[in-house]
Amino acid sequence: MGIKLDVSRLDHTIQLVNGNQLHLLKAISMAVEPGEQIAIVGASGSGKSTLLSLLAGLENQQNGQIRYQHENEQLDEINSVSGFVFQHFHLLPELNALQNVALPLLLRGEKSAEEQALEKLRIVKMEDQALQPVTKLSGGEQQRVAIARALCSEPQIIFADEPTGNLDQTTAEQVFEHMQNGAKESGTTMIVVTHDLNLAAKLDKIYHLENGELRL
């Protein structure tokens, strides 16, 4: 069972270099059900990544409320039950695919870290390249490893910021399918920021962010 997310009247203002302020997010409200997969789309600079960072707890909110609920229990913070997929992979080049995926589990002292990591690589169809240095993998393969790493901690919610932004269309569709399937298999809630409307259409809901306002 994934995370239920309720957002109410979330505002965010940023300070510009000329001293002016930009009201980036204006009274944002949204609801995400457990296990639901949603997309947030909008023009470059519209505030999509800022909104995602706020939802993921990577930035402090200024005004408004974000509530997380898991199996009728309210959560004070989200970091311990969430996974994040970045556009630029953020893999460690000196490690192979399996080691990159297993690393978060090893840092937590998990004794079966590599076995769990291999299972997540299987979900994204990368088990055959488990021992390959990530520097020898293609961009699409590296992103699949990054997705497996995000899944490895068994998150209740995944946040993905332009996860296919650096990939060609065919590879992007393949990677996106693996990410969707991985989340569905574990019942994980998923929130994806993307500029690709074709990929967004594969999810349960599409939110549009424009002029600081969010709408379905």
CATH number of the domain that residue 160 is part of: 3.40.50.300
Q: pLDDT band at 44, cuts 50/70/90?
A: confident
CA distance 147 to 179: 6
Q: Which of 28, 7, 8, 32 is nearest to 191 (CA)?
A: 32
What's the confidence (pLDDT) of residue 129? 95
What's the confidence (pLDDT) of residue 73? 87
What's the confidence (pLDDT) of residue 171? 84
CA distance 111 to 37: 31
What's the confidence (pLDDT) of residue 90? 87
This prediction has a pTM of 0.88
- Count how many domains the chain has: 1
Range of the domain at 87: 4-215
pLDDT tens profile 147-202: 899 888 788 999 999 988 888 888 888 888 988 988 888 899 999 999 889 999 99
- Find all residues with CB under 8 Å of 44, minimum gap 6, and list them: 195
What's the confidence (pLDDT) of residue 54? 94
